Amino acid sequence: MHSGDLAVMDEQGYVRIVGRNKDMIIRGGENIYPRELEEFFYTHPAVADAQVIGIPCSRYGEEIVAWIKLHPGHSATVEELQGWCKARIAHFKVPRYIRFVDEYPMTVTGKVQKFRMREISVVEFMVGSTE
C-alpha cells in the first residue's frame, strides 16, 4: 500500500513513521526528515513548536528552513538556535534559515500548510541570495 508515509523498521520488526515522502529534504545528497528535526527542536526549552521545510538551493539542492514558535515569555535568536543545533546534531541537518513566528499558515481544518510556508520562505530567503 502506498500511503506517502516514510517509515523505518527496527530489529524487532516494529515500524515507526518518520515523515512524509513529499516532505523529505535532500540536501547535498543527504536525506533529512523534517519530522526528526521538528522533534529535536521540541527539546529546546524556549521552543513551543517547530515546522521544518526545504527550499531550493543551487549548491546543495535544498536548504533547511525552520519555522519556530517560542513559549510565551521565552526568547531566542537565530544564532543561538543554530549554535545549539551544531552542538547536538549532524552539521548537514542544521537549518540555514530560522524564522520566528506566532502562527503558521493553516487550512480551515487546522492543518499546517507546508506548501504555503515554502512559498513564503522562498520569497523571504531567496530574494537577494548569493548562495
Nearest to 39 by CA among 66, 60, 15: 66
Task: Work out the average pLDDT over 35-60.
Answer: 96
CATH number of 94's domain: 3.30.300.30
The confidence band for 100, taking pLDDT boundaries of 50, 70 and 90, is: very high
Q: What is the pTM of this model?
A: 0.81
pLDDT of residue 131: 53
The domain tally of the chain equals 1
In a domain, 30, yes or no: yes
Residue 129 has pLDDT above 80, yes or no: no
Name 111's Cβ contacts closer than 8 Å, sequence gap at least 6: none
Is residue 114 domain-resident?
Answer: yes
66 within domain boundaries? yes
Q: How far apart are CA 92 and CA 95, in angstroms?
A: 8
- 9 is a domain residue: no
Average pLDDT of the chain is: 89
Q: Find the mean pLDDT for residues 74-91.
A: 97
